[in-house]
Chain A
Amino acid sequence: MNKKTKQKLAFLLFRLFSIIIVGILLSILGFIAFNGIKVINWEFLSTMPKEGMTEGGIFPAIVGTCYLIIGSLIFAVPLGVMSAIYTVEYAGNGKIVRFIRMMTNNLASIPSIVFGLFGMALFVTKLGFGDSILAGSLTLGLLTLPIIIRTSEEALKAVPESYRTGSYALGASKLQTIRKVVLPCAMPNILTGIILSVSRVSGETAPILFTVAAYFLPNLPDSIFSQAMALPYHLYVLATSGTDIEASRPMAYGTALVLVVIVLFFNLTATILRQRLSRKLKNK
């Protein structure tokens, strides 16, 4: 076989692989969308589950996921952004930064179930929060911390040095410069990190298994110390351990679609936002 034929064969194979892979990935989405769209209507989104979760809606799960998103952001955003400010603006470029960065990478690589274990040991048991929105939010917040730190770091680094020196020249202190010049400038980019972590929080199941998630609750949660239902856990329950798995299948498809739409929506927003911003920066 001469080298031209070899090349043709190899390239054909790679094209084929690409078509297969993209095909598989898109068909997963298509399958969920096709089956899910049939059940989704206003009632499905706005009512409680009925008849052992074979009918009705997923309203409490949507509400629960919203609470968890808000709770985890309240915890993770200030900490994460401050951590990034410290690393970029204060820590210089020495061993400390390398160490912090290594720790952030390590934290990002810990499997989500381990976060669940930790959340259960510390927040649920040791601190006595019980299975609660508080415990779940803290656990999820910890999980999203690396995402927020990394994107905020990049955002801060992208602020031109001349902005800072200009501010100093006007007599501003370092803190004033950070608050009034660097942060506003970096905000849009930091926002992409926050959006990404919202998407992550909405989809995670393992960390909430033992810290907040409830199989079924007749009422909406009324305080941060109550349990809550959440979309990903609700899907897991419907798919594997509902009262009547066959009858609750349509509900499961619907839940899966809502979950995928939420997650992809946030991911897409972050991607588009980032592209726009980098284009803007280039134009400057």
Chain B
Amino acid sequence: MFRKISNIIVKQLLTFSGAITGIAILFISIFLFKEGLGLFKSPAIEEGYALFVNSKNIVDNLTAKEIKEVFDSEITNWHDLGGEDIEIRIFRIDEIFQHYSDEELGEDYQFLPEKLAEVIREDESIVAFVPVEFAPAQHVGVKELMVDNITFSDYFAGKEWLPTATPAPLFGTLPMFLGTLLVSLVAILFALPLGLGVAIYLSELAQERIRKFLKPIIELLAGIPSVVYGFFGLVVLAPLVQKTFNLPVGETALTGSLILAIMALPTIISVAEDAMRNTPRAMREASLALGATHWQTIYKVVIPYAKSGISAAVVLGIGRAIGETMAVLMVTGNAALIPTSLFDPVRTIPATIAAELGEAPTGGAHYQALFLLGCVLFLITMVISITAEMISKKKNYKDM
């Protein structure tokens, strides 16, 4: 009886463990998306603050970008925001002390909202940036300016990433997407021909003894921690790039690509070599019997045969490059700007998360924006992993 029950319990436990990876992925996506999508529900203004204008002002709401431009004095007239032709006057909370004494504001600043309302009522051109606790909302002649929520296009097509700007932080992730794309693609451009060359050498040319010696070494190198590669990139590669191309700084997109290429090489070599070695002996011999040289056999028979394995290697390499965090964080200079050349500092998606999450207040818009980047990264790598799987499956059909 007892044995039966314990058998059932063990079986349930095993079933649960079998599902653990699925559960983990489910949990990861739930937590990531829950935090990340919260961003689109929060208004595009620094948390705990609000904007107030004179109630005669016909402007009702602003976007994050408009707020930023107003406070950076790039927009100076209400006319540009759909209002009347009046110059904008920016009013920050500390200016209130120039108008009223401490006594007038009260011991705990309890009269501050009232006095704020007075100031705002007098001036049609004013826009006041005020903490919510002192908001003069109930007073006559004052109107709260609605701030639009952050939108999809603000986030995915925005060109400026200023997560700590006041009063309106900007979360445009285009620089990061382009940075990640640039660094990863260039890395693959370096790594692919080199990796394929080495794979061909190992699988077709090298003596068995050399192959047996080199392949484990190359696979071993895939295990070196990325932070060590990053450190090497920082102390050796970055100065080298700086000197060679005569640049002001060595931490550039190119440096990141080079270090990523070095890191992706073991994966590419190992997977591509396995694929090439799987070419049936009969196919090679048939080709050689037809008078083809060894090289012709390689590029007309072996490589086409191993095409899906090689593609899988490339896809896996790209996946590793896109998700790589520490090495890239340490060598690319981390400027959240849209890269114009390989010699610009760039910042990738994972590097942004790693660099900023520690400073972002939990649950705030910045925190959510970083989680959303995590979601995007998660989705990209999911797609890549499934693609790689489909590519290597396709081969099996061909075999039959």
| Contacts from A to B (Cβ < 8 Å) | 3-4, 6-7, 10-11, 13-15, 17-18, 20-22, 24-26, 28-29, 31-32, 78-80, 82-83, 85-87, 90-91, 96, 99-100, 102-118, 120-122, 125-126, 142, 145-146, 149, 173, 175, 199-200, 202-206, 209-210, 232-233, 235-236, 239-240, 249, 252, 256, 259-260, 263-264, 267-268, 271
- Indicate if B132 sits at the interface (CB-CB under 8 A): no
Number of contacting residues on B, CB 8 A?
Answer: 83
Majority DSSP secondary structure for residues of B touching A: helix
Q: Which of chain B's residues has its CB closest to A215's CB?
A: B358
Whether the pair B197, A14 counts as a contact (CB closer than 8 A) is yes
Q: Which of chain B's residues has its CB closest to A97's CB?
A: B18
Whether the pair B218, A205 counts as a contact (CB closer than 8 A) is no
Which A residues lie within 8 Å of B19 (CB)? 100
**Among B11, B31, B221, which residue has its beta carbon within 8 angstroms of that of A122?**
B31
CA distance A146 to B21 in the complex (A): 8
| Contacts from B to A (Cβ < 8 Å) | 7, 10-11, 13-15, 17-22, 24-25, 27-28, 31-32, 35, 193-195, 197-198, 200-202, 205-206, 214, 216-221, 223-232, 234-236, 262, 265-266, 269, 293-296, 298, 319, 322-326, 330, 350, 353-354, 357-358, 362, 370-371, 374, 377-378, 381-382, 384-386, 388-389
CA distance A264 to B217 in the complex (A): 10
Q: How far is the CB of A14 from chain B (nearest CB, A)?
A: 4
Which B residues lie within 8 Å of A18 (CB)? 197-198, 201-202, 206, 214
Q: How far is the CB of A215 from chain B (nearest CB, A)?
A: 10
Whether the pair B20, A14 counts as a contact (CB closer than 8 A) is no
Whether the pair B197, A259 counts as a contact (CB closer than 8 A) is no
Q: Which of chain A's residues has its CB closest to B352's CB?
A: A113
25 residue pairs of the A-B complex, CB under 8 angstroms, read A17-B193, A21-B265, A22-B218, A25-B217, A25-B221, A28-B224, A29-B224, A96-B18, A100-B22, A103-B22, A106-B386, A107-B24, A109-B381, A109-B382, A111-B324, A112-B325, A114-B32, A116-B357, A121-B32, A203-B228, A206-B226, A206-B354, A235-B231, A236-B227, A260-B228
Which B residues lie within 8 Å of A268 (CB)? 220
CA distance A173 to B353 in the complex (A): 51
Which B residues lie within 8 Å of A106 (CB)? 21, 25, 382, 385-386
CA distance A236 to B358 in the complex (A): 15
CA distance A153 to B353 in the complex (A): 34
